[in-house]
Amino acid sequence: RMKRTIGMLVCMAVLLALCACGRLGDVNGVKTHRVPSEMYTQEEIDAAIDVVKARFKKDYGGCVLLELYYAGDETTGEFAGWAKRYNADEVIVLMSSYYVYERRDGLDPNCTYDPHWTLVREKGGDWEYAGSGY
For residue 65, what pLDDT is reported?
96
| Residues in the chain, overall count | 134
For residue 108, what pLDDT is reported?
86
Query: Does residue 91 contact residue 80 with C-beta atoms inside 8 Å?
Result: yes
Residues 59-86: what's their mean pLDDT? Answer: 95
Between the alpha carbon of residue 16 and those of residues 3, 6, 41, 60, 100, the distances in Å are 20, 15, 44, 17, 17
Query: Does residue 58 contact residue 74 with C-beta atoms inside 8 Å?
Result: no
Residues 1-8: what's their mean pLDDT? Answer: 50
For residue 106, what pLDDT is reported?
78
Is the pLDDT assigned to residue 67 strictly greater than 80?
yes
Strands (E), 45-104: 63-70, 90-100
pLDDT category at 104 given cuts 50, 70, 90 is confident
Higher pLDDT, 24 or 122: 122
| pTM reported for the whole predicted model | 0.80
Give the separation between CA 113 and CA 60, rounded to whole angstroms.
Answer: 12
On the 0-12 / 13-18 / 19+ scale of CB atoms within 10 A, 39 is middle
Is the pLDDT assigned to residue 5 strictly greater than 90?
no
Give the separation between CA 45 and CA 126, rounded to whole angstroms.
Answer: 11
Higher pLDDT, 94 or 21: 94
Q: Tens digits of per-residue pLDDT, 106-120?
A: 788 999 999 999 999
